[in-house]
């Protein structure tokens, strides 16, 4: 470990943590020291700040390094451009200059002292003059720790290290003031609780609840990004629960808290909200390793996690109390697929993600018609073909959807799905289900019926595809005969 001062903040209790953090930063310390010396020689301050410092204490190495300085953007470029292998200034208006040195990505930002318009959340970008003034405008105390360079002096004016040890999220300024400046910080509180496993301080939770409605002024794209990061975290349930309990979810995803259906006095149905969170956790457990093959659904997988969380959002709209005290949710998968599509579009998710999640929600109940394996090969073909490339995710979603406490029922469902997967594998090996096509191609269909390309040809193609799925390979002559019979019946 280099012989460097750590600062008076290095109390006896925390000194081992500080020393361990410096050791974890050892691979980049020569670069940090060199860059700090360059800025010092130019008469400027420089500090490593935010996530990289926090992660060093948590035993993690951050791939990107964030710095703050009293140098203005032009001065950052003057010092850094000669030293770095590459540079970019896309964030210059906000005081940020990007640098690349070897494999490392660096962002250096001028001290900020922004003033916010609290009706629009648009900041008036203002540069500050001190590190302490910059740290107070950051989102949470654990992200407001810094290491001055090249001295390696540890700066923690807001008790971030104490919060980290206590696994607590607290804002540097009063939380109601911090969230008034930037309501998106409330989403970050939920995200960090899911990523780091930290609890929010009681006053932070209270401010989130009080100011939840102000999230409406944040763009859908920024909310979506925070929500996606939360959902991809190791423990998303913690963050989701915080969003629901504080009322933030009501603002951007009201279908989630709507799952908290009041349980009837006889408790004839599950708590749909809790069930959905359990399904999400079980789906996460079934994800493959990050470097696994596509068919293993490498985790974290956003499409699978969205589908698991939202698979039952059609239930509130379809709930019916039946004669005799039963409860039904007929066609909730179809209603849910439409609701998912509408909500994800409103959150500005891309088209592919929206279509895939909606399709999984639509298909998630299909397996429950399988029973004890009564499906014909034709039905199994349809199941696999309708799922298409989503089949590995559908397998995991369907298995996760079994949350019954009845061990015998759970084992029966598991065995039935094992059987279905084996049948799909057998048929896939025999028939290459992913490439199933009618036995006559488009040209052959057009020639047999004497028609030109167009909608009618598409209908004929779809008919022969259904024949292929229902009956398997029957030969071109038989397929042509069926096509002609279909055409004759259609013309009558």
pLDDT of 320 reads: 83
Give the list of residues 6+ apart from residue 162 with CB closer than 8 angstroms, or none. Answer: none
Helix axes 407-431, 391-400, angle to 10 degrees: 170
Tokens 């298909």, residue located = 363
Contact assessment for residue 133 and residue 111, using Cβ atoms and an 8 Å cutoff = yes
Peptide bond into 318 cis (omega under 30): no
pLDDT in tens, 263-311: 544 444 458 999 999 999 999 999 999 999 999 999 999 999 999 999 9
CA distance 476 to 361: 36
Report all structural domains of the chain as residue ranges with CATH numbers, in order of start.
1-166 (3.30.460.10), 167-252 (1.10.110.30), 262-435 (1.10.3210), 442-491 (no CATH)
Give the list of residues 6+ apart from residue 368 with CB closer than 8 angstroms, or none. Answer: none
Give the list of residues 6+ apart from residue 452 with CB closer than 8 angstroms, or none. Answer: 446
pLDDT of 375 reads: 86
pLDDT of 97 reads: 96
How crowded is the C-beta side of 460, counted as CA atoms within 13 Å?
Answer: 32
CA distance 146 to 68: 9
Banded pLDDT at 3 (limits 50, 70, 90): very low
Closest CA to 54 of 187, 201, 196: 196
pLDDT in tens, 376-419: 888 888 899 899 999 999 999 999 998 877 788 888 888 889 99
208 vs 267, more confident: 208
pLDDT of 14 reads: 75
The residue-averaged pLDDT of 244-250 equals 97
- What is the token pair recorded at 53? 């410092």
Q: What are phi and psi of 270, to 5 degrees?
A: -70, 160
- What is the token pair recorded at 189? 């509180």
Q: Where are the alpha helices (DSSP H) in 348-400?
A: 351-363, 377-387, 391-400
Q: What are phi and psi of 100, to 5 degrees?
A: -125, 130
CA distance 112 to 342: 39
DSSP three-state, residue 115: strand
Banded pLDDT at 61 (limits 50, 70, 90): confident
Closest CA to 78 of 49, 99, 64, 102: 99
Question: Which range is least confidently modeled, 13-17, 152-156, 436-440?
Answer: 13-17
Mean residue pLDDT of the chain comes to 89
Question: Which range is least confidently modeled, 54-68, 71-85, 233-247, 344-358?
Answer: 54-68
Contact assessment for residue 358 and residue 394, using Cβ atoms and an 8 Å cutoff = no
DSSP three-state, residue 98: strand
- What is the token pair recorded at 432? 């290459």
247 vs 382, more confident: 247
Contact assessment for residue 50 and residue 147, using Cβ atoms and an 8 Å cutoff = no
Contact assessment for residue 276 and residue 312, using Cβ atoms and an 8 Å cutoff = yes
Contact assessment for residue 35 and residue 53, using Cβ atoms and an 8 Å cutoff = no
Which string of DSSP letters, residue by residue, matches 121-161?
Answer: TEEE--B-S-HHHHHTTSS-GGGS-EEEETT--EE-TT-HH
465 vs 123, more confident: 465
- On the question of pLDDT at 326 being above 80, the answer is no
pLDDT of 491 reads: 67
Peptide bond into 72 cis (omega under 30): no
Give the list of residues 6+ apart from residue 80 with CB closer than 8 angstroms, or none. Answer: 35, 38, 87, 97, 99, 106, 108
Which string of DSSP letters, residue by residue, matches 13-76?
Answer: TTHHHHHHHHHHTGGGHHHHHHHHHHHHHTT--EEEESHHHHHHHTT---SEEEEEESS-HHHH
Rounded to 10 degrees, the C-alpha dihedral 371/377/378/383 comes to: 60
Closest CA to 134 of 45, 52, 69, 183: 69
What percent of the chain has a predicted confidence (pLDDT) above 90? 63
Element (H, E) at 307: helix 302-310
- What is the token pair recorded at 9? 């903040």
17 vs 285, more confident: 285
How crowded is the C-beta side of 218, counted as CA atoms within 13 Å?
Answer: 26
Banded pLDDT at 126 (limits 50, 70, 90): confident
């Amino acid at each position: 470990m280099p012989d460097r001062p750590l600062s008076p903040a290095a109390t006896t209790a925390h000194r081992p943590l500080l020393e361990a953090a410096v050791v974890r930063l050892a691979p980049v310390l020569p670069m940090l020291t060199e860059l700090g010396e360059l800025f010092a020689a130019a008469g400027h301050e420089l500090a490593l700040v935010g996530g990289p410092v926090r992660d060093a204490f948590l035993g993690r190495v951050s791939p990107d390094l964030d710095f703050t300085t009293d140098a203005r953007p032009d001065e950052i470029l003057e010092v850094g451009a000669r030293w770095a292998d590459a540079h970019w200034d896309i964030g210059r208006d906000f005081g940020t200059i990007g640098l690349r040195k070897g494999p490392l990505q660096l962002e250096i930002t001028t001290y900020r002292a922004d003033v916010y318009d609290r009706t629009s959340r648009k900041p008036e970008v203002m540069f500050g003059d001190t590190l302490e003034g910059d740290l107070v405008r950051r989102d949470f105390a654990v992200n407001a720790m810094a290491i001055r360079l090249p001295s390696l002096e540890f700066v923690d004016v807001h008790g971030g290290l104490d919060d980290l040890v206590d696994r607590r999220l607290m804002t540097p300024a009063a939380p109601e003031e911090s969230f008034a400046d930037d309501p998106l910080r409330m989403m970050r509180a939920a995200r960090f609780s899911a990523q780091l496993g930290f609890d929010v301080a009681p006053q932070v939770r209270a401010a989130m609840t009080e100011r939840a409605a102000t999230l409406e002024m944040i763009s859908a794209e920024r909310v979506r990004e925070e929500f996606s990061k939360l959902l991809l975290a190791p423990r998303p349930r913690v963050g989701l629960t915080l969003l629901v309990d504080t009322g933030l979810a009501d603002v951007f995803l009201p279908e989630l808290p709507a799952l908290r259906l009041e349980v009837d006095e006889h408790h004839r149905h599950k708590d749909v909200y809790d069930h959905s969170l359990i399904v999400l956790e079980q789906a996460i457990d079934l994800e493959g390793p990050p470097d696994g093959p596509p068919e293993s659904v490498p985790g974290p997988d956003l499409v699978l996690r969205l589908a698991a969380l939202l698979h039952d959002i059609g239930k509130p709209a379809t709930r019916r109390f039946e004669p005799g005290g039963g409860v039904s949710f007929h066609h909730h998968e179809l209603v849910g697929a439409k609701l998912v599509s509408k909500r994800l579009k409103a959150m500005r998710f891309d088209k592919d993600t929206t279509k895939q999640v909606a399709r999984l929600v639509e298909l998630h109940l299909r397996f429950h018609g399988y029973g004890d394996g009564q499906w014909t090969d034709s039905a199994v073909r349809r199941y696999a073909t309708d799922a298409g490339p989503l089949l590995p995710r559908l397998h995991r979603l369907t298995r996760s959807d079994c949350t019954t406490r009845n061990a015998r029922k759970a084992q029966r469902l598991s065995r039935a799905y094992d059987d279905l997967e084996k049948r799909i594998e057998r048929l896939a090996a025999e028939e290459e289900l992913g490439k199933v096509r009618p036995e006559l191609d488009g040209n052959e269909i057009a020639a047999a019926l004497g028609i030109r390309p167009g909608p009618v040809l598409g209908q004929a193609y779809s008919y022969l595809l259904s024949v292929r799925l229902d009956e398997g390979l029957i030969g071109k002559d038989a397929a042509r005969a069926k096509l002609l019979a279909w055409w004759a019946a259609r013309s009558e």
